[in-house]
Structure 1
């Protein structure tokens, strides 16, 4: 094999001792961030009852975490390249644990939104650091594919562990307990990571450009906020100014990167067609999926009447499929090609979402479980292979920036998905009319959210309460169906785009020489 004919590096560099132990510590961070994202959906009905947020505030609680992460990932990935990825990871882990306590004890919707935003700042330091460190720990391409598969599998496992652990906690403790689980795990990460994770950074990074940091953060949040508000409430001068202003700042950011001798983000990375195709696939896939994931827990609990733990267990097939596919993705892509595996995974998710659009209140669980399994397998194949393509497309000195681009696509897709698809669910839901004779205050509460309808109905006599809740559930399911149908269209279009953009792209074989 041609790569093996090159002058080999010393064995300790090719196969670093302790690299698998270091990987096990790194994926703890991934596990926690994934748990934190999924457990919130399960806690939403309890949080709604306690904090009484409006429908808009509830969406902000759900997506401000992703908004802030999306705005800061590029800056944090570049910062890790400069000051050291291990140092940034350990600082971020410490902050993540501390801010989790603030989330747990938030007592107003506004405080919860602020706490989630601060958690996003801490989370932005974790994700690019983990992938970049994997890029520098594993120099054998097949080992690195397996390591990325494990990384992706643990993210999926977090999606599974979150609902199950969260369901157990919610049935025995108050909703804030789902955030406190972050504290001991982050403590383990810091203590073990200090000893086991090797430091790595760009040997000649140049200065960290603070103007670029501000441009990327404010520009990204401005654009995402405008899209969210446009989807939820329609156009206005405020929305137009936010969107156009954010877009102008992002254009300024891109132009500035081309001029800087040491840019925050090397825009030349996007000249690689495989890199650009993988990033686009990540963004649009998560956009199509995230709205479904955010509202599925509410469907299982508030529409089908499952308890929190049962709802968490009901979502396990997606994680089982994702974990299995993630571990097999590298081998499968080398056998059948990158574009076959990615396109097939995306098409599978799209077809499943199309089927979800036909789900109704009384749909039996075996069908829901089968659809979730297919979604998990598709996501496991697609995300693992695209992550491998993104990392293998760049020199290891720029691993932090490349990882940040990958994670930015993921988080921006999640934010946009919850904003756009979530707003579709909310918009369709709020179109329902409370039954005649419902007191105005109860009708107004029911109009805000499904959780509000269930809580408000408790003040009504049994027949009227049942009628109100049933009407609200029907409206919620209609909204979920509409969002799933749009998500399916997005996924199928992404599958077609991936087929062309990833043409000729293959995973590396053997040892990686940088």
Structure 2
């Protein structure tokens, strides 16, 4: 039900929200912006294989490792202040990345970009929680926020390709700078400051503990997805889980904890975090296959594949506001369960894809994206609304950390399932061809003639077979999540959200 006592947001709040979408789009685009730029970077900077890997991954690792810290810091020093600090760091790091003269300099700049992104992401979502006190308006805003995040990831690779057709590789980073300057100019005017009026001491030891809990798990899961279940990767996950246990124990026993116990008093908060993680699992697990299918099975160029991958995003733009409207008129738990069911149907369609089924793939991906964005927007709103307003930054950081875990786990589990089927189908092939579809494409090119064509056809069929198994596994998981959502969110008050608080130390919500 809508909180009728809350003051509805006006034009100024909605303009402020539009400004806050800028950092969200840029941070999400930076996940995929290097897809086209890496060949040019390789020619210019000559990175080693390990350095090339870190050029990609350093950004994501820095982002994931510092989300919890930055969310808690924003609650203490002010979310607007942290946002401005993050925008400054993000803009400066973008310039450093654009004009990097060595692989080491680019990796360092990508780490700084990740640190800046870790301040921007929870700050924007927490500010949305504070700007929109009316439940219905906040639901619409978070629906738009979720759609923009999903669209930004898809748009990053396309924008990269367009820029590189006209400019040098550094242009993919310089595009961040004007947006950050605009943010620095408008946020102090439009966005009020919000922070915890009584934050207590900052848990300094919690910073390395939280990073030690998150980074080994994310690293291990990413490596499992890429190379299979090796002892080193399993050990990395185990080490992260052990630090996670220590971190959670510390948070439960300290009054100045980074993640206070008050966050979990709201019935919908823990359920929202869990369901959001499952949604991210499905989103990234499906992307692992669809991007390879477009390029290596259908033989599309990178830019063409990126443009086709944008098609499901148009449906997402409709799904997010429709789901928010449905949640205002009916039981939110049913809409969330329905979102999971719709995403499961999308996975089921992908499970029917053959080696030449572009439109079936896009339809399945579109349904899956609509269902996932429906779930993510509603459970994010539910979790943020259930958290105390003064802890909105910590709540937002937990949501986004859960997304990082879910995405890495989705790629690892579904990717490993598909890879196992692929390797089984190509048991008698060359070792390089058995490892990955990309390896099979390279081997087929070296063989040439009928032998190469036959190997390529077999490899594509094997990849599609593995994708089908992974898709049906994803569909089963999402159907289970639909039942789980219906069970967890059943009953009065499960998905209710209390009114958002006033800015700390202020009276009206827009006191600058």
- Normalised to the residue count of structure 1, the TM-score between the two structures is 0.84
Match of 1:416 among 409, 413, 420: 409
Match of 1:476 among 456, 459, 463: 463
SS in 1 for 2:31: helix
Check whether the contact 1:139–1:511 (CA below 8 A) recurs between aligned residues.
Answer: yes
User: Residues 454 and 148 from structure 1, CA distance in 2 versus in 1: closer, same or farther, beyond 3 angstroms?
Assistant: same
User: Residues 511 and 382 from structure 1, CA distance in 2 versus in 1: closer, same or farther, beyond 3 angstroms?
Assistant: same
User: Partners of 1:235 and 1:450 in 2: how far apart?
Assistant: 20
Q: Does 1:301 align with 2:288?
A: no
Alignment partner, residue 439 of structure 1:
none
Q: Please, which moves more after superposition, 124-133 or 408-417?
A: 408-417
How far off is 1:255 after superposition? 1.6
Matches within 5 A, 1:6-405: 15=9, 18-40=12-34, 65-100=59-94, 116-169=110-163, 171=165, 177-229=171-223, 232-236=227-231, 238-239=232-233, 241-363=235-357, 365-405=358-398
User: Partners of 1:121 and 1:280 in 2: how far apart?
Assistant: 25
SS in 2 for 1:93: helix
Aligned length: 499
User: Partners of 1:190 and 1:230 in 2: how far apart?
Assistant: 40
Alignment partner, residue 472 of structure 2:
485
Q: CA RMSD in A?
A: 3.6
User: Partners of 2:249 and 2:105 in 1: how far apart?
Assistant: 37
Check whether the contact 1:170–1:308 (CA below 8 A) recurs between aligned residues.
Answer: no
Check whether the contact 1:168–1:308 (CA below 8 A) recurs between aligned residues.
Answer: no
User: Partners of 1:152 and 1:233 in 2: how far apart?
Assistant: 31
User: Residues 92 and 427 from structure 1, CA distance in 2 versus in 1: closer, same or farther, beyond 3 angstroms?
Assistant: farther
How far off is 1:355 after superposition? 2.2
User: Residues 352 and 383 from structure 1, CA distance in 2 versus in 1: closer, same or farther, beyond 3 angstroms?
Assistant: same
What do the CA deviations read for 1:91-141 (whole angstroms, capped 9, x no partner)?
A: 222333343456567799888776655433222111110011111112222
Check whether the contact 2:224–2:230 (CA below 8 A) recurs between aligned residues.
Answer: yes
User: Residues 472 and 109 from structure 1, CA distance in 2 versus in 1: closer, same or farther, beyond 3 angstroms?
Assistant: farther
User: Residues 285 and 511 from structure 1, CA distance in 2 versus in 1: closer, same or farther, beyond 3 angstroms?
Assistant: closer
Check whether the contact 2:224–2:412 (CA below 8 A) recurs between aligned residues.
Answer: no
User: Partners of 1:59 and 1:476 in 2: how far apart?
Assistant: 24
User: Residues 502 and 68 from structure 1, CA distance in 2 versus in 1: closer, same or farther, beyond 3 angstroms?
Assistant: farther
Alignment partner, residue 506 of structure 2:
none
User: Residues 2 and 291 from structure 1, CA distance in 2 versus in 1: closer, same or farther, beyond 3 angstroms?
Assistant: closer
Check whether the contact 1:317–1:372 (CA below 8 A) recurs between aligned residues.
Answer: no
User: Partners of 1:158 and 1:260 in 2: how far apart?
Assistant: 38
SS in 1 for 2:401: helix
Mark the runs of 5 or more structure 1 residues left unpaired by the alignment. 437-442
How far off is 1:217 after superposition? 0.6
User: Partners of 1:101 and 1:410 in 2: how far apart?
Assistant: 28
What do the CA deviations read for 1:440-482 (whole angstroms, capped 9, x no partner)?
A: xxx6665554445445655554544434433443343333333
User: Residues 222 and 291 from structure 1, CA distance in 2 versus in 1: closer, same or farther, beyond 3 angstroms?
Assistant: same
Q: Please, which moves more after superposition, 463-472 or 382-391?
A: 463-472
User: Partners of 2:27 and 2:263 in 1: how far apart?
Assistant: 26
Check whether the contact 1:160–1:312 (CA below 8 A) recurs between aligned residues.
Answer: yes
Check whether the contact 2:344–2:476 (CA below 8 A) recurs between aligned residues.
Answer: yes
How far off is 1:206 after superposition? 1.5
Check whether the contact 1:324–1:380 (CA below 8 A) recurs between aligned residues.
Answer: no
